[in-house]
Amino acid sequence: MRYIRDAVLKDFEKKMIFLSGPRQAGKTTFAKFLMGGSGIYLNWDIKKDKKIIREVSWPKNASLVVLDELHKYAKWKNYLKGLSDEFQNKPPLLITGSARLETFRRQGDALTGRFYHYRLHPIDLAESKLFLPKLSAQERLKRLLVSGGFPEAFLHPEEAERLRNDRFDLVLQEDLRVLSKTNALSNMELLLELLRERVSQNVHYSSLAEDLSVSAPTIKNWIILLERLYLIFAIKPFYFGLARSIRKEPKIYFYDCAASLEENNLGPRVENFVASSLLKYCHWMHDTQGKDFKLYYYRDRENREVDFLIAHHKKIIWSIEVKLSDSSLSPHLEYLHQRLKPEKSIQLVLNLDRKLEIRGIEICSLGEWLEDLY
């Protein structure tokens, strides 16, 4: 049941746990699963639960106490600090809520050293076999490219588009209003649509600003808001120690890997699928082991480009190029492999007959490699 379960259960012995992530990624379902038969679930939005929370009147022998939407309580950080200091995390506490929890968590330091933070991502190929073990990896991959990885949509792909639209509307109508004073809801909706048309492309703030009749700094701020709401994530170019690299605007991808509007072009959707899988891996390494893995792309002045780099303390661990069916070695990936000497260079191919290795670079089946990612 969900890929972070064992790590979270182990960390309950030490500190309270914060759980954030996209709406409808399964946070509440996961929390209730962890409770077992003797846990307590309390939601700040429910009046009777709010009274119990304020009075700290839950049974102290509970196996776990889940506090949902607690960040809506104005004094929630001092409240949790008091609980931690008084009860020493007995019973264990799991604090979860909407995507807004991540933003509010960053403000202030009242809880420093008292919690571990986990981010729950949608289902990827590695995790999908836990949900549909009877399907082959190729069948699950095809489904994910259509449905995306949000659990309800993945299990009911015929409803995926409706669920996606509802999720976008919910985040923009509710969460956005809390995080920002902007009244430009219609423009934010249009920006989201424009970004869905530009998945895997370099995002030019000035071009989007012209389309929406606003300034480029406004577009940049709106994109930051969409990132904080776990709708999109930006991948920046890697430039550390590279004199000929170009500092360009980021590429934008969606947590919903099937959000691209390019229905007749599979490329952006496959690239988004790989991007979201790699970001999930980076967050998992950070949240469970404290390793600061970062996801980048590469492009230089000669227009050599490699889709993804994973770096740890500015050292490249993996360089990764994504192809639909071309098994011939990417010259850009080979250049980067020779130039930066990553620990491993990999070319992932969606449709590949057999695995190859050419001049130290692995050419692998995209599905097989991602299924064994962690």
Q: Are strands 16-20 and 115-119 parallel, antiparallel or unpaired?
A: parallel
Question: Are residues 277 and 213 part of one domain?
Answer: yes
Question: Are residues 345 and 284 part of one domain?
Answer: yes
Q: What is the pLDDT of residue 277?
A: 97
Question: Are residues 214 and 355 part of one domain?
Answer: yes
C-alpha to C-alpha distance for 155 and 134, rounded to whole angstroms: 13
Which residue among 102, 119, 136 closes a domain? Answer: 119
Number of domains forming the structure of the chain: 2
Question: Are residues 250 and 218 part of one domain?
Answer: yes
Measure the N-to-C terminal CA separation of the chain; round to a whole number of Å.
Answer: 15
C-alpha to C-alpha distance for 315 and 191, rounded to whole angstroms: 34
Q: How many CB atoms lie within 10 A of CB 372?
A: 11
Are 48 and 195 in contact by the 8 Å Cβ rule? The answer is no
Are 300 and 243 in contact by the 8 Å Cβ rule? The answer is no
Question: Are residues 73 and 55 part of one domain?
Answer: yes
C-alpha to C-alpha distance for 178 and 181, rounded to whole angstroms: 8
Question: Are residues 106 and 200 part of one domain?
Answer: no
Question: Are residues 139 and 55 part of one domain?
Answer: no
Full DSSP string of 237-270: EP-TT-TTB---PPEEEESSTT--S-TT-HHHHH
Which residue among 104, 119, 134 closes a domain? Answer: 119
79: containing domain = 5-119
**pTM above threshold 0.85:** yes
Phi, psi of 346, rounded to the nearest 5 degrees: -135, 135
Per-residue pLDDT of the chain (374 residues; tens, 9 = 90+): 689 999 999 999 889 999 999 999 999 999 989 988 789 999 999 999 999 999 999 998 999 999 998 888 888 888 999 998 888 888 999 998 765 566 555 555 667 788 999 999 999 999 999 999 999 999 999 999 999 999 999 999 999 999 999 999 999 988 887 776 666 778 899 999 999 999 999 899 999 999 999 999 999 999 999 998 999 999 999 976 655 556 578 999 999 999 998 877 899 999 999 999 999 999 999 999 999 999 999 988 888 999 999 999 889 999 999 999 988 999 999 999 998 899 999 999 999 988 999 999 999 999 999 998 87
Are 249 and 204 in contact by the 8 Å Cβ rule? The answer is yes
Are 64 and 94 in contact by the 8 Å Cβ rule? The answer is yes
Q: How many CB atoms lie within 10 A of CB 197?
A: 11
Question: Are residues 109 and 20 part of one domain?
Answer: yes
Alpha carbon 128 to chain centroid, angstroms: 16
Question: Are residues 160 and 11 part of one domain?
Answer: no
Which residue among 119, 135, 168 closes a domain? Answer: 119
* Surface-to-core class of residue 337, CB atoms within 10 Å of its CB (0-12 exposed, 13-18 middle, 19+ buried): buried
Q: Which residues of 286-302 are buried (b: 16+ CB within 10 A; e: fewer)?
A: bbbeeeebbbbbbbbee
Question: Which CATH number is 19's domain given?
Answer: 3.40.50.300
Question: Are residues 341 and 270 part of one domain?
Answer: yes
Q: What is the pLDDT of residue 74?
A: 83
H helices present in the chain, as ranges: 5-11, 27-35, 47-55, 76-87, 100-105, 125-131, 137-147, 151-155, 160-170, 176-179, 185-197, 205-212, 216-228, 266-289, 331-340, 366-371
Question: Are residues 178 and 89 part of one domain?
Answer: no
293-299 sheet: strands from edge to edge: 251-254, 232-237, 293-299, 305-312, 315-323, 344-349, 361-365, 356-358
Q: Which amino acid is at 227?
A: E
Question: Are residues 147 and 250 part of one domain?
Answer: yes
Are 312 and 240 in contact by the 8 Å Cβ rule? The answer is no
Give the residue among 222, 143, 147 at the shortest CA–CA distance from 181: 222
Are 22 and 163 in contact by the 8 Å Cβ rule? The answer is no
